[in-house]
Each structure stands twice: as structure tokens, then as C-alpha cells.
């Protein structure tokens, strides 16, 4: 679930008096601006978390594939050694 702040009721009227430390910006405008920023950052964090999860899964898949390839390589080397041994036996019998 995205960490978005949802406003479920109508927004109250902004205050008429400017109380912000910034000139010409009301606290209400500042609050709304920061709320939008918080929501945007929450969305970005969620997207980054999902991407990290996908990358973790891909790394796991690659490690498993490498392990399987290593096992298959070991198996093929064993078969090759056995074939070389059998060829040597046949050559010894023929000679």
C-alpha cells in the first residue's frame, strides 16, 4: 500500500491571516505544498522498494542458475573423463 495521506473530508477554508514565516505564503498553502511533497516522496519510495524487490528476485534467480550450471558442468566433466578412460581402454585392447 502506498504511504499516501488521503484527505477524506472537505478541506477547511484556508486561514485569512498570513501566519507563515515565508512572506506572501499562508500556512495553509505551505501545508498543502508539503503534503503534496510527502505524497510524491511516498510514491517514489514505494516504486524504489518494488524495484529493489524485483532486483533481489533476479539476483536469486541468477545465483540458482549459476549453481545449476556448475552442477551440470561437473556432471559433463565426469562423463568426459569416463569417455576418455573408455577410449584409452579400447586403444589398449586394439594395440
Q: What is the mean pLDDT of residues 4-29?
A: 60
Q: What is the pLDDT of residues 61-92, one digit of tens each?
A: 999 999 999 999 999 999 999 999 999 999 99
Q: pTM for this structure?
A: 0.55
Picking from 91, 94, 95, 2, the residue whose alpha carbon sits closest to that of residue 48 is 2
Q: What is the pLDDT of residues 9-18, one digit of tens each?
A: 455 555 555 5
Residue 1 has a pLDDT of 47
Question: Does 6 have pLDDT greater than 70?
Answer: no
Max Cα–Cα distance, the chain, nearest Å = 109
Amino acid at each position: 500500500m502506498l504511504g499516501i495521506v488521503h484527505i477524506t473530508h472537505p478541506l477547511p477554508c484556508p486561514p485569512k491571516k498570513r501566519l507563515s514565516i515565508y512572506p506572501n505564503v499562508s500556512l495553509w498553502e505551505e501545508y498543502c505544498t508539503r503534503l503534496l511533497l510527502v505524497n510524491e516522496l511516498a510514491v517514489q519510495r514505494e516504486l524504489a522498494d518494488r524495484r529493489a524487490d524485483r532486483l533481489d528476485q533476479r539476483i536469486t534467480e541468477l545465483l540458482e542458475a549459476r549453481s545449476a550450471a556448475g552442477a551440470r558442468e561437473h556432471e559433463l566433466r565426469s562423463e568426459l573423463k569416463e569417455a576418455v578412460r573408455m577410449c584409452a581402454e579400447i586403444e589398449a585392447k586394439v594395440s
